[in-house]
Structure 1
Amino acid sequence: MPEWASCIARPPRINKIYGLEAHLCNVADNASMQDRGLLRDWMYLAGLLHDLGKARASWQRYIRGHGAGVNHAFLGSVLFFFLIQASRPPREYRRYLLLLCRDIADHHGALGDLEEQPPWIGGWQPQTLTEIDWIGVKAFLQRYAPAYAKFFPENYQTLQDELARMPRLWRKWVVTLPVVEDVNKAAYDALRIPTSRLIAADRFDAASIERDEGISMRDILPAQKRLSDYVSGRHDVTLQVGGTVMANYRDYAQREVLAQLQQSHSVVTTLQMPTGSGKTVVAMQYSLELMKTYGLKRIIYAAPYLSIVSQVAQSIREATPFEVLEQHHLALPDIDSASAYISADIGEGPLLTLESWQAPVVVTTFNQLFRALFPYSAQQSLRLVALEQAILIIDEPQIINPTTWNAFLLMLETACQSLNARSLLMSATVPPHHYAMLSEPITQVAAPLLSAEASRYRLRVEELPLDSVAVLESVQHRLRQQQSVAVIVNTIGDVARLYQVWKDMKQDFLVLTLHGAMHALHKRYQIQRITQALEKHEPLVVIATQTLEAGIDLSFDHILRARPVFPSVVQAAGRANRHGQGSQAEVVVFDYLRPDGRDSRAMVYRDVVARDETDRILTPGRSLLEHEVDAALRAYYHNVFERNNYTVALEKITQAASGRWSALAGLEPFGSSHVRESVFVPVSGSQECPDAWVDDETQQLLTHFDVTVGSLYQKFLDPRTYAGSFTERKRFLNLFGRFVTGVPFHALQTLTDADPNRRVQLLVNPSDYSTDLGFAAWFLNEKLEEMVLL
C-alpha cells in the first residue's frame, strides 16, 4: 500500500505534484472559513475527510494511469460519521451532520436523501480498509483534528469492527429525526450552503480556480460616473428619434423609483416599471448604492432568456467598467467532476470555470440561478457561495412558472438573509408574493403610471382564430401602414411554419426569425439585422418566440401575439413603440391554429388557471390602452392566486428539510420541460458570406487561440487547451459557447453521432443548420410537443 505522505490528489504535471494531504487541508480551510464554533469544526473535519478514499492503493494506481477508476467518496463519508458520533454532538445538530455526511458521499454525483441505508453502503468494497496506510491517516488527523483523532482506533481490526456498527447507528439517527413543519425554518435547513461551501472548496482547489474579490469601494464612484454618462447618452438618443414624452417620463420615473429604493431596508425588494422605462439602468444605479451602504461586492443579474443575457451583459459592459461574466454555457450542460468526457488530466472538467460565478458582475439565466438554489447534483450547488455579499437582480420574474414561484421567493429570501445578500425583482408585471410565507415584508416600489395621453399602444383581441396564411395576410396589410411588424408565437415549430408559408407566398418583404434553437452568434446577428432595419425605417417582419418579449431593446410599429397568458401579452406589448415616437402602435392578440387545427398555446402555457384567467380578460374584440393594462394585470394576478395559491411547492421545502431532498432537487423555473442536448454548430454565416456572424470580439478570440470555426471543436476536446490560467479557460469557453445551442434528444440522434462519451456533440452536417431558421425546421417534421428552448 502507498505511504500516506506519497499519496496524490490528481495527476502530476511537469515539476508539479498535487499531494493529497495538501488538497485535504486546503479544502478544510476554505470550506470552514465562514463558520464559527462547532459548525466550523465539523466542516473542517468534513474537508479533511472528503477525499480520504483517494489514499487507497487502487485509486493511487488509477490516478497514475495504471488501473481503472474506483469509487473513493464513500470512505470519507463513513469515517466522518464514525468520528462525529463518537464525539457525541448535540442532538439538535444531527440533521446537519447527517446531511454533511451525505454530501461527502455525494460530492461527485447527485445529492441524495437521508434514508435508513447509509450513503456509503453503495460504494463500499470489502478490500478497501486493507489498501490504506492507517498509521499515516491517524498521524494526519492528530496534526489537523486532534479532538477527533483521539477516537480513531489503534489498529485495523478495531477500526473494521467500529465501522461495521455504523449502519445501525445511522438508521437510529435518521428514524428519530423530528419532522420540520415550520416552513421558514425548513427553508433555512434546506438551503444547501454547507454543501456549496464544501463542493466549492474542493472544486476550486482541484481546478486552481481563483476566488474573485468582487467590486471594491474605490471602484464604485468611477462606475457611478460612467453609468451617469451612459444614461445621459441614452436620453439624448431617445430625443433624437422624437420620443420627447417618453424621455421625460423615463427621467421622472427613474428619479422617483430610485428615491423609493434608497428607503428600502428589505433583503428582497420588487420594482415595477413599464417596459422601456430603464429598469436595467435603475437596477445598476441601485446596486452601486447598496454596495456603498452594505459593503456588498458582486452583482448577479438573472434573466429568463439567453438573448436577454447577451444583451444585458453588453449593456453593463458599456455602462460600467466592470468585468462581466456571462454564465449560461450558451446551452452547455453542467458537468460532474466524475465525468471524464475529455480526459482525466483535466480533473474537474473545463466547464467548472464558468459555473463558479467568480467575477465582479455575473449575467446568467433563471435556469442557472435555480440550480444554485435547488441543486440536483453537488456540482450545481457550488455557485451558491458566490451569492455571499451579492446583489441579485431578477429581471422579468413573471416568466417563472406560478407553480414554483412561491418556493423560489422563499428560498431567495432565505439565501439573502443567510449570505448577507440583497435581491431586486423587477418587471412591468411583478407577480404577488403574499403566499410565499416570507419571514419579513417585501418593499414594493412602483413607477408612476403613464398618462392616457402618453399611452404608446392599444391592445386589441381578434374576433376569430387565424391560421398561417391569415397571419401573413394580416402582416402584409399592416406593412402598408407601418414599417415594422413583429409576430410572436408560442413554439419554435410555429416560427418555422409561418416562415415556410411566407416563402411559399413569395412575398417581397424582409422576414427575419428569432428563437431559442439558434446559437448565440446567430441570434446576435439576427438582432443586429433587426436593429439596423428598424433604424433605417425599412419594411420589416420579425417572426419570433417569447425570446422577443422580455429585455431585448427593440421597438416595432405593430405586434401580432399568438394568445399566451396575460403577463406575456403585457411583455410583448413592451416591444411596441417603446420610445413613444410617432403614432400609437397596435398590439393584436389572436388565436393561432396550426395546419392540423391545434393551438400550440397549451404546449407552453400548461397552467389551466392562468390560461382561464387570461381568457376572462382577453375576450374577443376587447380593446385596452396601455394605461389601462396595469389594472387588468392586477386583476389577473389577484384572480389567479385566489384560485390557486401555489403553495404545494412550499411543502416540498419542508420535505427537503426533513431529509427528502429529492422533493426539491432540480426544481425548474419554467415547469417541466423537454430535455435538451448540447450541439456545437460549426456555422458562422451563409454560403455567400460564411463569416457574417463573426463579430470583432469573436474574431479576436479566434485569432488569440489560433483556431478557425472549423477547428474549434477539436480544440475543445484537446486537454492541452485547459492547461492555461483560469482567465484563459474562461475566455476559451466563452468563445466555444457562442457556437453551441440546445436541441431535443430526438434531434440529437439525427443531427450528430450522439457519442455517449461526449457531453457536447458535433453537428455532423453543417447544412442541417439553416441560416434563416437555425434548427427550427426540425420541428416541422416532428410531433413532439414543443417548449421554448431558452
Structure 2
Amino acid sequence: MANKYKYLIAHIKKLPDGSFDRPHFLEEHLERTAKLTAENCADFINYKVPLILGYLHDIGKASDAFQERIRIKSGFEAEEAHLEGKSAQHVDHSTAGAQLSAQKYDLLGILPAYIIAGHHTGLPNGKSSEESSLYSRLHKEVEAYNNILPWLNSKLPDINPKDFMPKNHHYNSTLTPYQFQFLIRMLFSALTDADFIDTEEYMNPDKTKQRGSMATMEELKKSLDDYFQIFLNKKETFVNRKRNEILKTCILAANEKPGIFSLTVPTGGGKTLSSMAFAVNHAIKHNLKRIIYVIPYTTIISQNAQIFRDLFSNLGEDVVIEHHSNMEPAVETAYNRLATENWDAPVIVTTNVQFFESFYSNKNSVCRKLHNISRSIIVFDEAQMFPPEYLKPVLRVLNELNKNYGCSIVLCTATQPALNKSKILADGLDNVKEIIEKPEELYKQLKRVHIKILPGTTSDDQLIRHMEAYEQALCIVNTRKHARELYRALSDMHPDNSCFHLSTMMCPQHRVDELEKIKHELSKHKPCRVISTQLIEAGVDIDFPVVYRAMAGLDSIAQAAGRCNREGLLTSGNVFVFQPKQKAPPGHLRKCAESGAFTLKKYRTDPLTPPAIEKYFQDLFGKSDLDEHGILQLCNSQLDEIPFKEISEKFRFIRQTGFSLIIPYGHGKELINSLRACYEGRVPMELRRQLQRYTINIFRETFMAMAPVIEDVFRDGQFYVLLNDDIYDEKIGLNPDIPEFIKTESLII
C-alpha cells in the first residue's frame, strides 16, 4: 500500500517573516548524512557500514504519521528532532531503520541496528524487558514507509564480516566483544555528527559557514618554533638549561613510530611545552589530525587552554577548543545540541572525565566527537590521576585507540604510575616507550627540595605555629572544610591581608585573581601564607620556599613539592608532610593517603625517587579493585546483549552529580546580563565558554539549601545564577554557612 505523500520532508523551518523556507527533503537528508558518515569514518573503517547508517537512520520519517505531523507542527524548536528522551512525544522515526537493518542483513545488521535505533534517544541496552531496549524496538510495530523503499534499495550496499574490521586492525582474527562495542560507539559518533551537521546546514546555514577551515599542524609548528626562540633564550639557570634539554629530547623523539609513550619529568621541568612540541612534530611526521590535551581537573583547564591559545595566538582563537563536563548544558534542547562540540579543531583541551566518560556514554551529544579522536595524538597531563576504580576500562580505551584507530598516546607525569602489563595489571598498556632516556638521573639533577615528615599527628594550632617560622609558605590540605578553618585561624592572626585561601568554592576567575596577588607578594618578598586544597598541585606555576602537605598519595606529595623552590634559586626548599587530625575523605583519597604513608616509611630518606613512586602505585593498585563497577564484563557481552545504557550509568568518574552555579563576580555580572538577554535560551558557545570562568559546582544538598537565592534563568534547568552577593565571600568564595545568608530582603533580582 502506497503512502499518501509524494514529497517526503525531513525538516522544515519558518523564516523571520513567518513564511516557510524550502523543505529539507528526506532523500536529500539521507543521502547527505550517508556521505558525511562515510567521510567521518574514513580513517578507521571502509564506507559500506557508514553508508547503511546514513541511509537508514531516518526512514521512519517516510511514514504518513510523521509527514502529517511535520506539516501540521513545523519549526525546528517545535519539532525537537534531536532530543534524547523526547522521542515518546513524537512519531518514532528511528526504529524503522533499525528493523530494516536487522531484516536485510540478518546478524550483520544488529550492529547498525543499535546505532540507528539510538541516534536520537541514545544507544539502548541490547536485551532487556524495557521498551527502549534494542530487542523491544526490533519487535515493535512501526508505521509503513513504502514510498521510500525503491529509492532505498538502489542505495544500500551488500556487506560481509570483513566490512566491520577497522582498517588498522592488527590481527587476522575477528574482533573481540569489547572491540565490537567500541566500534559501535565510533560509528554512532560518526552518524550523530553527520546527522547534526546536515540538519544544521539546513536550519542554521550561518553557523555552518562559521565552522571554517582548521589551522594545519605545519602552521602550529611555525608558531611553536617562534615561541621557542624566546623560551631557549630565557635567563640562564640550571633549571632552565634542563628544561631546554627536555624540550630538545621531546622534539627528537617525535620521529618515533606511532605508539604509546611516557614522558617522565619532575615537576617544574617544562612538561607542558615539551609535550606540546612532541605532539606537533609527531603529528606532522605521521600525518595525524589533531592534538588532544587531557588534564585531570576542571580547575586548571582554562589556564592550560590559555597557555596554548597564547602559543598559537597568531592563528586565531578557534585553533584551541576547551571542552569539559562543566560546559555541557544541564538540559538538552535542539539548539544547544547543535552547539555541542564535535572536536573539529587542531587542538582540544579537555579533562579525564570528559574524555573517558565519552567512550562509555550512550548519549549522542556526549559521543558526537568520538570519531574525530581517530588518528590523533592524545597527551595526558598528570597521568597518575587516572582513578584506580576505573583503571582497567581506562587503559582498555587507550590500547584500543592505539591499536585500531591510529592514535599515539603520551602519558606525562612527574610520578609515572605502573601502567604497563604486569601481574597486578593484566590489562595494562602494551609496549610503552619512555621519551626521557634516564628518568631517575633526571630526577636527581632536578631535585630541589627535601621532604621532611613531621612526627605524630599535627593539630591545626601546631601547624599554624610551625608556619609562623616562615614569612612565605604554602599549605595544602585534603578538604575544603579544613582549608577554610585553617585560613580563618591564620588570617585572624594576620589581619594585614597577607594570608590567602584557594579552593573550588571560588570561581576560576576569582582564583586567577588571587593567584596574581599571591605571585606579586612573593616577587616583592612580602609575607605571604596560602592555604589551599589540592587544586594548586597541578598546572599552577608558583614558587614557595616552604610547602606543607597533609598526608596524601605520594603523587600528590610530589605535585606539592613542585610548588617549592620551583626555579631552583634556593640551595634546597623544604616540604613538610604532616598527618592532620582530620582523616582524608573516605574512598580513593583515603586509600592514596594510606599507601602514601606506607611508602614514606619505607623510603623516608628520599620518597620521590622513581623506585619509590613505583612501589607506591604497586601498593595502591594492589589494594584497589581496578574495575570496581564491572565495566569490562558488561562491555564483553554478546553482540545482541550489550547493555549500553547500563554501562553509561555505571561509568562515572564523579558519582555524585552536582549543579553548575554562575557567580556574579567581577565581569561575571555583565556576562549574566548577556545570558538573560539570549533569545529563547539559545546561548552561543562563546558565551558558554566565558561563563565557565565564573562558575562553580555545588552538590545537590547545597543547591537545595540555596534554592531561594538561585535563579533558574530560562526556567528549564540550563543555567543557574547566584542572586545574593552576601553568600559569596571575597576571600573564601561561596560561604558554607548558607542558612545565615538566605534572607528574602537581601535578594538581588
Band of TM-score, shorter chain: 0.7 to 0.9
Which of these residues, 680, 703, 706, is aligned with residue 719 of structure 1?
680
Deviation at 1:212, TM superposition (A): 6.2
Name the aligned partner's letter for residue 378 of structure 2: L
Residues 290, 778 of structure 1: alpha-carbon distance in 2 compared, 3 angstrom cutoff:
farther
Deviations 1:502-540 (A, max 9, x none): 344454351222222222222222222222222222221
Does the 8 Å CA contact 2:417/2:613 hold for their aligned counterparts?
no
* Structure 1 Cα separation of the partners of residues 623 and 174 of structure 2: 22
Greater CA drift, 278-287 or 650-659: 650-659
Deviation at 1:140, TM superposition (A): 4.9
Q: Which runs of 5+ in 2 are unaligned?
A: 81-85, 160-172, 202-206, 742-749
Deviation at 1:313, TM superposition (A): 1.5
Name the aligned partner's letter for residue 216 of structure 2: S
Which of these residues, 738, 743, 766, is aligned with residue 698 of structure 2?
743
Q: Please show how residues 103-502 of structure 1 align to structure 2 within 5 Å.
A: 103-117=115-129, 119=133, 129=143, 134-138=145-149, 140-141=151-152, 144-145=155-156, 185-191=176-182, 192-208=185-201, 210=208, 213-216=213-216, 218-233=218-233, 235-236=234-235, 239=236, 244-259=237-252, 261-262=253-254, 264-320=256-312, 321-322=314-315, 323-328=318-323, 331-334=326-329, 339-340=332-333, 347-349=334-336, 352-433=338-419, 434=421, 435=425, 437=427, 440-446=430-436, 448=439, 449-450=441-442, 455-479=447-471, 484-502=472-490
Does the 8 Å CA contact 2:57/2:119 hold for their aligned counterparts?
no
* Structure 2 Cα separation of the partners of residues 32 and 409 of structure 1: 28
Which of these residues, 36, 48, 66, is aligned with residue 55 of structure 1?
66
Does the 8 Å CA contact 1:49/1:76 hold for their aligned counterparts?
yes
* Structure 1 Cα separation of the partners of residues 486 and 739 of structure 2: 11
Question: For this pair of structures, how many residues does the alignment match?
Answer: 684
* Structure 2 Cα separation of the partners of residues 431 and 656 of structure 1: 33
Is the counterpart of residue 44 in structure 1 residue 54 in structure 2?
A: yes
SS at match of 1:465: strand
Does the 8 Å CA contact 2:87/2:120 hold for their aligned counterparts?
no
Name the aligned partner's letter for residue 244 of structure 2: D
Give the match for residue 618 of structure 2: 638
Q: Which runs of 5+ in 1 are unaligned?
A: 149-181, 341-346, 685-690, 695-706, 723-728, 783-790
SS at match of 1:355: coil
* Structure 2 Cα separation of the partners of residues 456 and 564 of structure 1: 20
* Structure 1 Cα separation of the partners of residues 356 and 567 of structure 2: 33
* Structure 2 Cα separation of the partners of residues 67 and 194 of structure 1: 25
Residues 572, 60 of structure 1: alpha-carbon distance in 2 compared, 3 angstrom cutoff:
farther
SS at match of 1:613: helix
Identity %: 19
* Structure 2 Cα separation of the partners of residues 271 and 73 of structure 1: 52
SS at match of 1:664: helix
Does the 8 Å CA contact 2:552/2:597 hold for their aligned counterparts?
no
Deviations 1:314-344 (A, max 9, x none): 22122234444343358233456xx34xxxx
Residues 451, 101 of structure 1: alpha-carbon distance in 2 compared, 3 angstrom cutoff:
closer
* Structure 1 Cα separation of the partners of residues 459 and 246 of structure 2: 41
Does the 8 Å CA contact 1:213/1:360 hold for their aligned counterparts?
no
Is the counterpart of residue 81 in structure 1 residue 98 in structure 2?
A: yes
TM-score, normalised to structure 2's length?
0.82
Name the aligned partner's letter for residue 546 of structure 1: Q
Does the 8 Å CA contact 1:553/1:575 hold for their aligned counterparts?
yes
* Structure 1 Cα separation of the partners of residues 66 and 126 of structure 2: 27
SS at match of 1:464: strand
* Structure 2 Cα separation of the partners of residues 380 and 106 of structure 1: 13
Which of these residues, 24, 31, 45, is aligned with residue 37 of structure 2?
31
SS at match of 2:456: coil
Greater CA drift, 24-33 or 430-439: 430-439
Deviations 1:83-120 (A, max 9, x none): 2233244x4x3xxx434323333333343211155737
* Larger RCO, structures 1/2 (Cα 8 Å, 6+ apart): 1
RMSD: 3.6
Deviations 1:379-427 (A, max 9, x none): 2111112213221111001111112123212212212333322221101
* Structure 1 Cα separation of the partners of residues 497 and 587 of structure 2: 29
Name the aligned partner's letter for residue 481 of structure 2: G
Name the aligned partner's letter for residue 389 of structure 2: T
| Structure 1 residue ranges, 4+ long, deviating more than 6 angstroms after superposition | 65-69, 120-128, 779-782
* Structure 2 Cα separation of the partners of residues 541 and 207 of structure 1: 52
SS at match of 1:458: strand
Name the aligned partner's letter for residue 264 of structure 2: Q
Residues 548, 212 of structure 1: alpha-carbon distance in 2 compared, 3 angstrom cutoff:
farther
Deviation at 1:778, TM superposition (A): 5.0
* Structure 1 Cα separation of the partners of residues 495 and 291 of structure 2: 47
* Structure 2 Cα separation of the partners of residues 512 and 56 of structure 1: 63
Deviations 1:99-150 (A, max 9, x none): 4323333333343211155737878999973xx7x454335535644989xx
Does the 8 Å CA contact 2:474/2:546 hold for their aligned counterparts?
yes
SS at match of 1:313: helix
Residues 108, 415 of structure 1: alpha-carbon distance in 2 compared, 3 angstrom cutoff:
same
Greater CA drift, 74-83 or 756-765: 74-83
Give the match for residue 719 of structure 2: 760
* Structure 1 Cα separation of the partners of residues 726 and 560 of structure 2: 32
SS at match of 2:263: strand
Residues 514, 190 of structure 1: alpha-carbon distance in 2 compared, 3 angstrom cutoff:
farther
Name the aligned partner's letter for residue 28 of structure 1: A
* Structure 1 Cα separation of the partners of residues 140 and 400 of structure 2: 42
Residues 376, 751 of structure 1: alpha-carbon distance in 2 compared, 3 angstrom cutoff:
farther
* Structure 2 Cα separation of the partners of residues 736 and 615 of structure 1: 40
Deviation at 1:681, TM superposition (A): 1.6
Name the aligned partner's letter for residue 359 of structure 1: A
Does the 8 Å CA contact 1:73/1:104 hold for their aligned counterparts?
no
